[in-house]
Chains A and B, each alone.
Chain A
Amino acid sequence: MTARFDIGAPVHVRAAYPPGHVRTPYYCRGKNGVVVRMCGEFRNPEELAYGVYDGAVSPMYRVRFFQTDLWDDYDGSPEDLVEIEIFEHWLEPVG
């Protein structure tokens, strides 16, 4: 399996709200960030959560966001960041 995004790639987190067990935090969905690290390939927790133990592995990325991009009322430094580990199927290219 090859990774779709390189380090430094701007990415958009899908604004999807399915039921079930999802590891992508609500607050980053629909937001833009930048890939800063490849974390490896892992089975999908959304499938593992329902007993699918032999599903395909997929890449997971460390994605960096500006806090000011995540929260409308953020009053800290504009340089404040948060990094979130996100599976590839939640990410789309920007631009």
Chain B
Amino acid sequence: MTDRRRHHDMGGLEGGPVETSQHAHEPWEKRVDAIKALLSDDKRQLLTTDELRRSIENLGADAYERYNYYERWISAVTNILLEKKVLSVDELGVKMAEIEARQGNRAL
């Protein structure tokens, strides 16, 4: 049995103060935005906004709280690309290891 109210559907609940300060986006965040735009364009049509939302909602309450905005996006997009067989788990694992080695364990 699951809860009737899903975690993200939090209208009316106490949410704490709203962070209103401005901040510049990191280069990787801009890249995530670009990936989403390209996957959604007329040529590819691999992703709708609703699919992205569904995938973000399915990250679960814990991830939903811990990840920032674009961390949620890239996690959700990754899961959709795996579902759609655009990427394979192994392909992703190999590439991630390659990039980590190249970066010398610096934060990506």
Q: Is the interface of A mostly helix, strand, loop or mixed?
A: loop
Kindly identify, within residues 1 to 26 of chain B, every residue whose CB is under 8 Å from any CB belonging to chain A.
2, 4-6, 9, 11-12
Q: Other CB < 8 Å A-B pairs besides A25-B9, A27-B11, A46-B50, 20 of them?
A: A19-B6, A21-B50, A21-B57, A22-B9, A25-B11, A26-B6, A27-B12, A45-B50, A45-B53, A48-B49, A48-B50, A48-B51, A49-B48, A49-B50, A49-B51, A49-B53, A49-B54, A53-B45, A70-B12, A71-B12
Q: Which one of B5, B49, B84 contacts A26 once the chains associate, using CB atoms below 8 Å?
A: B5
Cα of A51 to Cα of B2 in the assembled complex, Å: 24
Our count of residue pairs bridging A and B at CB distance below 8 angstroms stands at: 41
Residue interface bits B35-63, CB-to-A below 8 A is 1, else 0: 00000000001001111011001000000
Contact among A20, A25, A53 for B48, CB-based, below 8 A: A53
Main secondary structure of the interface of B (DSSP, over half): loop
In the assembled complex, which residues on chain B have CB atoms less than 8 Å from the CB atom of A50? 51, 54
- Cross-chain contact A19 with B9 (CB below 8 angstroms): no
Interface residue tally of chain A, by bracket? 10 to 19
Which A residues are in CB contact (< 8 Å) with B45? 53
Q: Which residues in chain A, 63-84, are within 8 Å of chain B measured between CB atoms?
A: 70-71
